[in-house]
Amino acid sequence: MGSDIMGSGGRFNRRSTPGTRRAWLRWVPAVAAPAVIAAGVLAGTIPARAGDPLPAKTPAEVLALVGGHDGGHKPHSFSGTIEQSSDLGLPELPAAGPSSGPASAGGAASVFELLSGQHTARVYMDGKTKVRIQVMDRLAERDIIRRDSDLWFYSSRDNSAAHLTLPAFARDLPLVDPGLPGSPPPDQSVPDGAMPATPQELAEHLLAKVDSTTAVRVGDDVEVAGRAAYNLVLEPRTDATLVGNVAIAVDGETGMPLSVQVTARGADSPSFHAGFTSLSLEAPDDSLFTFVPPPGSTVEELQVPATGWPPGIHNPGMMITPDQLDAIHQRPDGIHQHPDGIHQDPAPSTVTGKGWETVVEIPAAAAGGTLAGSLLKDPLLSQAAVVVPGGRLLSTTLFNVLITDDGRIFAGMVPPDRLQAAASAVP
Amino acid sequence: MPSSVPADVPGVALRPARVPRGSGFSLMLSELRVLFARRRTWALLLALAAIPVLVAVAVRVSSSVPPGRGPAFLDRISQNGLFVAFTAMLVSVPLFLPLTVGVVAGDTIAGEANLGTLRYLLVAPAGRVRLLLVKYAGALAFCLVAPLTVGVAGAAIGAALFPVGPVTLLSGDVIQPPEAAVRILLIAAYLAVSLAGLSAIGLFLSTLTVVPVGAMAATVVVSVVSQVLDQLPQLEWLHPWLFSHYWFGFGDMLRQPVLWDTFASNALLQAGYITAFGALAYGRMVTKDVLS
């Protein structure tokens, strides 16, 4: 029996010489499999030109589409996944996210954390008053849940929750509104006559306003989250800013901003990108907007700050949505045009320069002398800030923040020397 | 005498023998029976089951864990025993599960070769490809049973030592214990899929040698190397291609609603590894000289 088997083995050996060609053939799958996989991956990365191209539109028409009055089918109910990635040249943070701190006390570190690396969030929205944002961390999650005037923050890392009752004035001010960035909230009942009547006029009015500082054009159509979108490109007309261009993808069907990317001057890839990776326009399950603090969690009751809500600053440790980002990026103009818009601030900041060259100064005394100090106390920030003549500089590819030795803070989307010049010019 | 052997007799050498349908199934059954009747397999599963027991006992005898310290979910165990299962599965992902899977997958072909039984298996009307498939299916069965053991043992010891109640998900939503059991099964399934790629690598390595320990060690080393590479920020472009990249993504099964994206990406990635290393194992298996 054994000899039979040895015999077969021997036969195998004997036949292996003429069989070499066939043995070679048998390795074909081993070569073909990776090749097929590679081909599949390549085919997947080629952006699919889906369906018909969008009808050509002028920037004003695209803006009007964003305004949502165009046809009136702007979705206020959707669920989607947003991915945000930043490559601002800041030191990489551990992927674990903020090390500690309750849900309410995000502070500077959380903002800083959002500025580096990659983040994914799911956003659910049903109407204007029901919102849920889930920021996905590894084996953890941070949630914002809003139903009407109840606003909850939850952090799974330490099982802490914070609750806020929105005051009446903020109730109509949606936390996340895919509305027109930098323009009045679209569905506000502004009496006609006070404002341009049609969205088209509104858009042209707005374009005319920014025209002195920014060139607005519509680039090639892009595809975001499987939807064809207009690509609204804003380019600063000045060389004195770090921003090369801002590209906003506007959904061709609904006018919803789908993604924002900010590219630094001279850079090939965007320094900041936030956008939907998937989007469904169906109304999410209503139970998603119900939040009851889980057993064993610590609950903190928060007070609404009297000065209102600058988006993205008081939102503790949370995602900046493309819409909020839009708002922020439109803000330089807004501040410049309406300096009284920030008069409520107990620490009056002064603004120099205009448009993209705006430099914001927060005086030391007004900030109580504590802001700069507390910023530098943060180990992450102090590590990232380098010592320059006159203070410490937090330098990124898109903006710079200078904390002078006497505690003043200068910030702007400008090169560092402009901040230093501003610091030395203002005594 | 070799000359007396007719040239067209289907042999064990290169051509798989024609076998009646259904013999693959019985071969599969016998392979599973052999695998799960082995004392070594039971030892591996017992070692895995010991992890949640250790975790639970350690939490039980020590003072309460402050939130945010230690592995995720550890601080929840004293309030809810079901979290033992989650913690134990989390703890076993980086080393223990790959270790046991490496032992089983590395043993598939090399173990038979080492015992001198591979040639008998090939003499039996099975064919090399079929044998390879059956061996891989056996390894996959272990991939499924291993995380399941951790999860079930964790839930059992947790229920024995701690109160069991509604489970708080990462999203802050609360689910009842029956649904939590479903989530434990989901995580076990996720981990089983995660380990399938490593199994395929182990199967290929196992065809290269007749020393099973070598294949086992190599498989475990590969899994450790992959995880180390996944930690290096300089190799960020490589990360989505590492088979261990989504191993910790099972946390997405604990969100409300369940985030299936990671599951899908993970399954796709593992399918790629199975295809690539399965093809390599096929190439090696059908060309190799089976002398033992």
Per-residue tokens: A170: 């903020």
Q: Find chain B residues with C-beta within 8 A of A99's C-beta.
A: 68
3-state secondary structure of A405: coil
Q: Give the pLDDT score at A268.
A: 85
Give A112's pLDDT tier (boundaries 50, 70, 90). Answer: low
Q: Tens digits of per-residue pLDDT, A68-111? A: 644 445 567 899 999 988 888 776 554 444 443 444 344 455 56
Candidate from A78-82, A160-164, A299-303, A341-345 with smallest mean pLDDT: A341-345
A95: contact with B, CB 8 A cutoff = no
DSSP strands (E only) in A93-167: 117-126, 130-137, 140-147, 150-155, 160-165
**Are B68 and A157 within 8 A, CB to CB?**
yes
Q: Is the pLDDT confidence value at A335 over 90?
A: no
Q: Tens digits of per-residue pLDDT, B161-174? A: 999 989 999 999 99
CB–CB of B39/B139 below 8 Å?
Answer: no
Mutate which of B8, B74, B168, B263 to disrupt the A interface (most A C-beta within 10 Å)?
B168
**Out of B11, B67, B290, closest to residue A11 by CB:** B11
**Are A27 and B174 within 8 A, CB to CB?**
no
Which is more confidently placed, B54 or A49?
B54
| Whole-angstrom distance, CA of residue A333 vs CA of residue A264 | 19
The whole-angstrom distance between B3's CA and the closest CA on chain A is 9
**Are B275 and A293 within 8 A, CB to CB?**
no
Fold adopted by A338-425: TATA-Binding Protein (3.30.310)
Q: Is the pLDDT confidence value at B267 over 90?
A: yes
> Which of B91, B75, B45, B92 lies closest to B162, judged by CA?
B75
**Are B171 and A26 within 8 A, CB to CB?**
no
| Residue A82 host element (H or E) | strand A77-86
Give A113's pLDDT tier (boundaries 50, 70, 90). Answer: low
Other residues' Cβ atoms within 10 Å of the Cβ of residue B176: 10
Q: Is the pLDDT confidence value at B47 over 90?
A: yes
* Contacts with A206 (C-beta within 8 Å, 6 or more apart), sequence order: A63, A182, A183
Task: Tell me which chain A residue has its CA closest to the CA of residue B79.
Answer: A296
**Are A136 and B259 within 8 A, CB to CB?**
yes
Total residues found in chain B within this entry: 292
Percentage of chain A modeled with pLDDT above 90: 12
Other residues' Cβ atoms within 10 Å of the Cβ of residue B237: 7
Q: Give the pLDDT score at B77.
A: 86
B243 secondary structure, DSSP code: T
| Whole-angstrom distance, CA of residue A5 vs CA of residue A13 | 12
**What is the rounded average pLDDT of the residues A355-370?**
72
> Which of A253, A314, A2, A238 lies closest to B117, judged by CA?
A2
Strands A350-352 and A257-264: unpaired
The whole-angstrom distance between A5's CA and the closest CA on chain B is 8
Asked whether the bond before B257 is cis by omega within 30 degrees of 0, the reply is yes
The CATH code of the domain at A59-207+270-325 is 2.50.20
**Are B14 and A15 within 8 A, CB to CB?**
yes
**Out of B251, B252, B272, closest to residue A37 by CB:** B272
The whole-angstrom distance between B270's CA and the closest CA on chain A is 12
**Are B172 and A156 within 8 A, CB to CB?**
yes
Give B5's pLDDT tier (boundaries 50, 70, 90). Answer: very low
Q: Is the pLDDT confidence value at A9 over 70?
A: no
The whole-angstrom distance between B237's CA and the closest CA on chain A is 13
3-state secondary structure of A169: helix
A89: contact with B, CB 8 A cutoff = no
| Residue A214 host element (H or E) | strand A214-224
Q: Tens digits of per-residue pLDDT, A148-178? A: 889 999 998 888 899 988 876 554 544 444 4
Per-residue tokens: B292: 């033992």
**What is the rounded average pLDDT of the residues B268-290?**
92
Q: Give the pLDDT score at A384.
A: 75
* Contacts with B38 (C-beta within 8 Å, 6 or more apart), sequence order: none
Write down the domain spans for chain A. 59-207+270-325, 338-425
A410: contact with B, CB 8 A cutoff = no
* Phi, psi values for residue B282, rounded to 5°: -60, -50
Other residues' Cβ atoms within 10 Å of the Cβ of residue B278: 22
Candidate from A231-235, A316-320, B42-46 with smallest mean pLDDT: A316-320
3-state secondary structure of B38: coil
A14: contact with B, CB 8 A cutoff = yes
Q: Find chain A residues with C-beta within 8 A of B12's C-beta.
A: 5, 8, 12
Q: Tens digits of per-residue pLDDT, B16-32? A: 445 555 667 888 899 99
| Whole-angstrom distance, CA of residue A373 vs CA of residue A350 | 19
Task: Tell me which chain B residue has its CA closest to the CA of residue A287.
Answer: B173
* Sign, Cα dihedral of A8, A11, A17, A19: negative
User: A378-402: buried (b, 16+ CB within 10 Å) or exposed (e) per residue?
Assistant: eebbeebbeebebbbbbbbbbbbbb
Q: Which residue has the tokens 């839009």?
A: A326
Which is more confidently placed, A248 or A207?
A248
Give A206's pLDDT tier (boundaries 50, 70, 90). Answer: confident
Q: Find chain A residues with C-beta within 8 A of B251's C-beta.
A: 138-140
Give A2's pLDDT tier (boundaries 50, 70, 90). Answer: very low
| Whole-angstrom distance, CA of residue A231 vs CA of residue A301 | 42
Contact map slice: A 214-243 vs B, CB within 8 A: none
3-state secondary structure of A259: strand
**Are B171 and A14 within 8 A, CB to CB?**
no
> Which of A67, A346, A304, A33 lies closest to A207, judged by CA?
A67
Q: Is the pLDDT confidence value at B86 over 70?
A: yes
| Whole-angstrom distance, CA of residue B87 vs CA of residue B66 | 15
| Whole-angstrom distance, CA of residue B175 vs CA of residue A67 | 40
| Whole-angstrom distance, CA of residue A357 vs CA of residue A212 | 13
Which is more confidently placed, A328 or B131?
B131
State which of A152-156, A294-298, A302-306, A390-394 shows the largest mean pLDDT.
Answer: A152-156
Q: Is the pLDDT confidence value at A190 over 70?
A: no
| Whole-angstrom distance, CA of residue A383 vs CA of residue A404 | 16
Mutate which of A41, A120, A156, A282 to disrupt the B interface (most B C-beta within 10 Å)?
A156
Candidate from A163-172, A290-299, A384-393, B194-203 with smallest mean pLDDT: A163-172
Sequential DSSP letters for A34-70: HHHHHHHHHHHHSPP--SSPPPP--HHHHHHHHHT-S
Q: Find chain A residues with C-beta within 8 A of B191's C-beta.
A: none
| Whole-angstrom distance, CA of residue A51 vs CA of residue B28 | 48
| Whole-angstrom distance, CA of residue B265 vs CA of residue B276 | 17
User: Are both A59-207+270-325 and A338-425 of the same fold?
Assistant: no
Q: Which residue has the tokens 């018909």?
A: A52
**Are A7 and B5 within 8 A, CB to CB?**
yes
| Residue B149 host element (H or E) | helix B128-161
Q: Give the pLDDT score at B133.
A: 93
The whole-angstrom distance between B45's CA and the closest CA on chain A is 25
Task: Tell me which chain B residue has its CA closest to the CA of residue A143.
Answer: B171
* Contacts with B26 (C-beta within 8 Å, 6 or more apart), sequence order: none
Q: Give the pLDDT score at A144.
A: 92
Q: Give the pLDDT score at B1.
A: 37
Task: Return the amino acid letter for A339.
Answer: P
Task: Return the amino acid letter for A413.
Answer: M
Candidate from A294-298, A340-344, B266-270 with smallest mean pLDDT: A340-344
Task: Return the amino acid letter for B201.
Answer: I
Q: Is the pLDDT confidence value at A269 over 70?
A: yes
Give A345's pLDDT tier (boundaries 50, 70, 90). Answer: very low
Residues A130, A133, A138, CA angle at the centre, nearest 5°?
A: 155
Interface contacts (A, B; CB < 8 Å): 130
| Whole-angstrom distance, CA of residue A417 vs CA of residue A395 | 11
State ipTM: 0.80
Task: Tell me which chain B residue has its CA closest to the CA of residue A298.
Answer: B67
3-state secondary structure of A154: strand
CA dist list (Å): A183 to A62, A178, A307: 14, 12, 20
Q: Give the pLDDT score at B50.
A: 97
**Are B67 and A81 within 8 A, CB to CB?**
no
CA dist list (Å): A415 to A184, A212, A247, A334, B101: 31, 21, 21, 21, 55
3-state secondary structure of B69: coil
Q: Give the pLDDT score at B201.
A: 97
> Which of B4, B52, B7 lies closest to B157, judged by CA?
B52
Contact map slice: A 146-175 vs B, CB within 8 A: 152, 154, 156-161
Task: Tell me which chain B residue has its CA closest to the CA of residue A156.
Answer: B170
**What is the rounded average pLDDT of the residues B137-164?**
95
**Mean of the per-residue pLDDT values of chain A:** 72
State which of A41-55, A81-95, A248-262, B181-195 shows the largest mean pLDDT.
Answer: B181-195
Task: Tell me which chain A residue has its CA closest to the CA of residue B11.
Answer: A8
